[in-house]
Chain A
Amino acid sequence: MIVDWFDANLVSILNGFAIGSLLFILAVGLSIVFGMMDVLNLAHGALYLVGAYLGYQFAGDTSSWAGFLTALGTAALVGLLAGGVLSTMTEPLARRPHLDQALLTLGVALVVAELLAIFYGNDVLRVVAPPGLNGSTKVFGDTYPTYRLALIGIGALIAVAVYVVVERTTVGALVRASVADREMVSAVGVDNRRVKLAVLGVGSSLAALAGVLGGPINGAGPGLDERVLILALVVVVIGGLGSIKGAFVGALLIGQVESLGRALVPDLASFVLFGALALVLIVRPRGLFGAPKAAV
């Protein structure tokens, strides 16, 4: 019985993992920054969009590894720079309420999205997967696009990499400490601004990478940044602020809701998503795995 159900829905479940992987790569940076500095980076979706357009720029209509890898590399760099710029931009507002910084990022998101639309036009553009990953594979009898399988693998790799860095390195320890108790970290003599710069930089870089990786599935076009930002917010809130594990679990969960949920109960899927978001915000604002913290 159960096996039959799985068989019938295997493709949806797989797809859920693929979407989940993408969401994880996107959301992990947002989660850490939010957990660490209570800064809600509303420009995160715009960074994804930048990555998506870079994907179109280099891997637009023809399938090639060179193009795709160039897109990935450029996106990583641009993301890093953008994160640094954002960090610098929010510095003058450090003494002001966190809300002001969030609003600043909202303004930046607007500007970036409009600039991209001016440069690339209003059409929805395609990004092509590199050769080899362009076709379909048979998975237990069902056909599934190869690229999405690869995405699951990439997501897992990045998750492992992020986990190793955060849990096993000194830099990671700094990040974890900052999430737990920011003031203490600065009292110990570490410059919080540097940590913030690093985290925003890497987080933004991951967001842009997610944009390139998501290109063959979502394309690149106006409005994508809003949709993606809201999904990332849901993941971050449900999974828990500042928690890698939370971002991972949250992303996989939301991925399944978006995929299996839409296949089984298409009308309810959106309600489930936002209803869950609202519920978590009311009942347990720090999320499933978020570190309990003194009232903000």
Chain B
Amino acid sequence: MNPRVLPAHPMSRRQMLGLMGAGSVAMVGTAACGGGSVGGGNDDEPAGNTSGGGGGGPIKVGLVIPQAGIYTPLGIDMQNAWELWLEQNDGMLGGYTVETVIADEGEGPDTGVPAIQGVLQNDQVDVLVGIVNSATALGAADAVTEAQKVLIISNAGAAAITGEASSPYIWRSSFVNAQVVVPMAEYLAANDIGPVYVMSADYAAGQEVVAGFIAAFEAANGTIAGQVLTPFMTTSDFQPFLSGIQSSGAAATFVFYAGGEAVSFVQQYAQFGLKDSIPLYGSGFLTEGGVLNGQQDAAIGVRTSLHYSTEIDNENNAAFVEAYQGAYDALPTCYAVQTWDAANVLNRALAQAPDLSGDAISEALGGLGEIEDSPRGPWSFNGQTPEQNFYLREVVEGDGGLINSVVEDLGVYAQP
């Protein structure tokens, strides 16, 4: 028996694999020539520009938005608003010419955090704007802080971002999850609605909303009929939980869902007959934007609280809605306004900052007073997050589709 009988295949396979291996290393190597990753103490080179305040020159902005998965529609809104601002301002922010690099945050932190790291290290952006998913924001907070670049979050509402995990570089032009529901909790308690059943998806934002609502509602002497957190992103059939609502004796339901889950939930809420017997209240995202198209009649009458509605009566909003509709043939959403405002504050901060370093921009942001020309009404930073007006909205039939009409102004709230 000759043990040295080597079949011909493995040799050529090895050669092929060896070539592939060498090829891949070569590919990575040539793509990354120079610089190295251990030199000089600083991983990231500051992108060129150090001229004095508003001195002009280029600025690279990383726009982190979802372009895949259930939050894609939000990403589209955010991108639209960003581009609309640039269009109306000659493509400039604070005197600098803007180059936008778009990073796809995907559906969660496993795709989002690497995308953010890529845009920080690979594209060497000066500022980051965006992020829809709270978990992604939390996961990337360290990387952004260590890179010393400013991030203006234009959606993700996790409390810890401007709370425990806070860093001077991370700002928000959006909201804090619990902040959106406190006004509704106080309103419902003040109107003696009865026992409320609270429900959301089991992830950072959902958990904060449920906890925030319950805390505020019980503090205002309301009673909770029950609560549940549904498995996040894998629940398309809410029936088991809807049964739970019915058997709890609740007089009203308060929920938070966004995107695809909002569509499924509101539809099924009506399909299973709860809509007529147990009125549905929610955090504004439940009926915001594209989801109304999916929900159709099932959404009519649903009341939500949010810091924006296309029906807010002020001139900035009227102008904004008109411009947005003209450019994109769709109504803007809170996601659009948040990104619009991010551009707004960045514009003001850059005009005042001496250079493009994270510290300078961060300090300039802190020095901004009230932002009086926002479509959502006047607001200002408090703890690096907007302190702003909240509105009680109700879904009604408007001309050309469903809209969130403003029923009441619930007052100004800061992050809880």
Measured CB to CB, the residues of A under 8 A from B are: 8-9, 11-12, 15, 19, 121-124, 126, 135-136, 142-145, 217-219, 221-222, 227, 258-260, 262-263, 266
Q: Does B260 contact A (CB under 8 A)?
A: yes
Q: Which of the residues A8, A124, A143, A259 comes within 8 Å of B247, measured between beta carbons?
A: A8
B107 to chain A, nearest CB (A): 9
- B44-82 with Cβ < 8 A to chain A: 67-70, 72-73
Contact of A145 with B240 at beta-carbon distance under 8 Å, contacts A121-B72, A123-B70 already known: no
Residue pair B72, A263 in contact (C-beta under 8 Å): no
Is B294 close to A, CB under 8 A?
yes
Could you say which interface size class chain B belongs to? Answer: 20 to 34
> In the complex, which residues of chain A have a beta carbon less than 8 angstroms from the beta carbon of B228?
266
The CA of A218 and the CA of B294, in the complex, are separated in Å by 14
Which single member of A135, A143, A218 contacts B236 (CB below 8 Å)? A218
Q: Looking across the interface, which residue of chain A has its beta carbon closest to that of B239?
A: A15
B228, B271, B273, most chain A CB atoms within 10 A: B271
B272-A145 in contact (CB<8A) = yes
A19 with B69, Cβ < 8 A, contacts A136-B271, A144-B272 known: no
Q: How far is the CA of A232 from the CA of B67 in the complex (A)?
A: 30
Chain B, interface SS category: helix
User: Shortest distance in angstroms between B246's beta carbon and chain A's nearest beta carbon?
Assistant: 8
Cβ A217 vs Cβ B243 within 8 A: no
Beyond contacts A123-B70, A259-B240: 20 other A-B pairs, Cβ-Cβ < 8 A, are A8-B247, A15-B239, A15-B240, A122-B68, A122-B69, A122-B72, A123-B260, A124-B70, A126-B263, A136-B271, A136-B272, A218-B237, A219-B264, A221-B70, A263-B241, A263-B243, A263-B244, A266-B230, A266-B231, A266-B240
Report if A19-B70 is in contact (Cβ < 8 Å); known contacts: A12-B243, A136-B273.
no
Q: A259 to chain B: which residues have CB within 8 Å? A: 237, 239-240
Partner of B240, one of A143, A221, A263: A263
Residue interface bits B271-289, CB-to-A below 8 A is 1, else 0: 1111000000000000000
Q: Is B234 an interface residue (CB 8 A)?
A: yes
* Residues in chain B within 8 A of chain A (CB atoms): 67-70, 72-73, 228, 230-231, 234, 236-237, 239-244, 247, 260, 263-264, 268, 271-274, 294
Q: Smallest Cβ distance from B65 to chain A, in angstroms?
A: 13
A-B contact pairs, 12 of them (CB 8 A): A9-B243, A11-B243, A15-B240, A122-B69, A136-B273, A143-B271, A145-B272, A218-B236, A259-B237, A259-B239, A260-B240, A262-B241
Instruction: Give the shortest distance, in Å, between A157 (CB) and chain B (any CB).
Output: 22
Determine the distance from Cα of A260 to Cα of B241 in the docked complex, in whole angstroms. 10
Select which of A12, A142, A222 is within 8 A of B273 by beta carbon. Answer: A142
A15 touches B237 (CB 8 A): yes
Are B234's CB and A227's CB within 8 A?
yes
Give the residues in chain B near A136, CB-CB below 8 Å. 271-273
**Shortest Cβ gap from B297 to chain A (Å):** 11
Q: Residues of A contacting B72 with CB < 8 Å?
A: 121-123
A217's nearest neighbour on chain B, judged by CB, is: B237
Q: A9-B243, A12-B243, A142-B273 are in contact. Are A222 and B69 (CB under 8 A)?
A: yes
A15 to B272, CA, bound (A): 11
